[in-house]
Chain A
Amino acid sequence: QLQLQESGPGLVKPSETLSLTCTVSGGSISSSGYYWGWIRQPPGKGLEWIGSISYSGNTFYNPSLKSRVTISVDTSKNQFSLKLSSVTAADTALYYCARHGGGGNFWTYYFDFWGQGTLVTVSS
């Protein structure tokens, strides 16, 4: 069974860069052409798609965050990562990594496997 696990610092200072990694187990990040994405959920609020990447490094980002987001992939470690720069308190959220449904090297808009999420708090 495919599993995704987020990891990274739980506390980041304002203006610094948030860095998270998602480790995929139970399957290869390179198989079947799936895209892999990041989604966040501020406390008590709704979901927001951040961006996505393919195993070959093709990326798509939420236009509202694009200037601050970088997503990368390391197929040798079966991981993909998120960097969000110049963070503020508004970036405090539960950050999820997830697999896009469908596969076949096509980006899709929905997610069929999710990690459990990791809470990142932005505070000095």
Chain B
Amino acid sequence: QSALTQPASVSGSPGQSITISCTGTSSDVGGYNYVSWYQQHPGKAPKLMIFDVNIRPSGVSNRFSGSKSGNTASLTISGLQAEDEADYYCSSYAGSSTALFGGGTKLTVL
């Protein structure tokens, strides 16, 4: 199992929309509708933002949305705000009751 592939960094200006990709294989991202996304601010624990590709837990802003096409999942953040600046990690079910994470993407709000 190899880590899912994410861009090292993305950036955007306040109010804009950005998309973070997460690429896996047919054995993980492409094989199941089981992708989650986490937000991690410096020195803090990860926070669940999206699960099952596009479901937001209670309390998560609707500015965060998820999607998937083939072996690639995406997290879109609309109406970018300063507090969105953080690291973002994707995760996928990888079969046989195992989970795989991505390498993480640093989002900079310009």
Which residues of A pack against B, CB within 8 Å?
39, 45-49, 60, 62-64, 96, 101, 107, 109-112, 114-117
Which are the 8 A-B pairs with shortest beta-carbon distances?
A: A110-B36, A114-B45, A109-B93, A47-B101, A109-B99, A60-B97, A46-B103, A49-B99
Partner of A46, one of B51, B92, B98, B102: B102
Counting CB contacts under 8 A, is B104 at the interface?
A: yes
The answer to whether B45 and A115 touch across the interface, beta carbons within 8 angstroms, is: yes
Q: Among A48, A49, A96, A110, which residue has its beta carbon within 8 angstroms of that of B48?
A: A110
Q: Separation in Å of the A52 CB from the closest CB of chain B? A: 8
B-side interface size class:
20 to 34
Instruction: Check B97 against A96 for contact (C-beta < 8 Å).
Output: no
Q: What residues of B have a CB within 8 angstroms of the CB of A48 in the complex?
A: 3, 101
The total of Cβ contacts below 8 Å across the A-B interface reads 62
Q: How far is the CB of A114 from chain B (nearest CB, A)?
A: 4
Return 27 A-B CB contacts under 8 Å, by A number. Answer: A45-B103, A46-B101, A47-B38, A47-B46, A47-B91, A48-B3, A49-B98, A49-B100, A60-B97, A60-B98, A62-B1, A63-B1, A64-B1, A101-B51, A107-B97, A109-B92, A109-B93, A109-B98, A110-B34, A110-B91, A111-B38, A112-B48, A112-B57, A115-B45, A116-B44, A116-B45, A117-B45
Complex Cα gap A26–B100 (Å): 28
Q: Which residues of A contact B45 (CB under 8 A)?
A: 96, 114-117
Question: Which residue of chain A has the shortest Cβ distance to B37 in the bound complex?
Answer: A110
Nearest chain B CB to A56 CB, angstrom units: 15
Instruction: Write the nearest CB–CB distance from A60 to chain B, whole angstroms.
Output: 4
Complex formed: what's the CA distance from A115 to B44 in Å? Answer: 9
Q: Is the CB of A114 within 8 A of B46?
A: yes
Residue of B nearest to A102 (CB): B51
CB contact under 8 A between A109 and B46, given known A47-B104, A60-B97, A101-B51: no
Question: Does B64 interact with chain A (Cβ within 8 Å)?
Answer: no
Residues of A within 8 A of B3 (CB): 46, 48
Complex contacts, B101 vs chain A, CB 8 Å: 39, 46-49
B99 cross-chain contacts in A, Cβ below 8 A: 49, 109-110
The A-contacting residues of B in range 42-78, CB under 8 angstroms, are 44-48, 51, 57
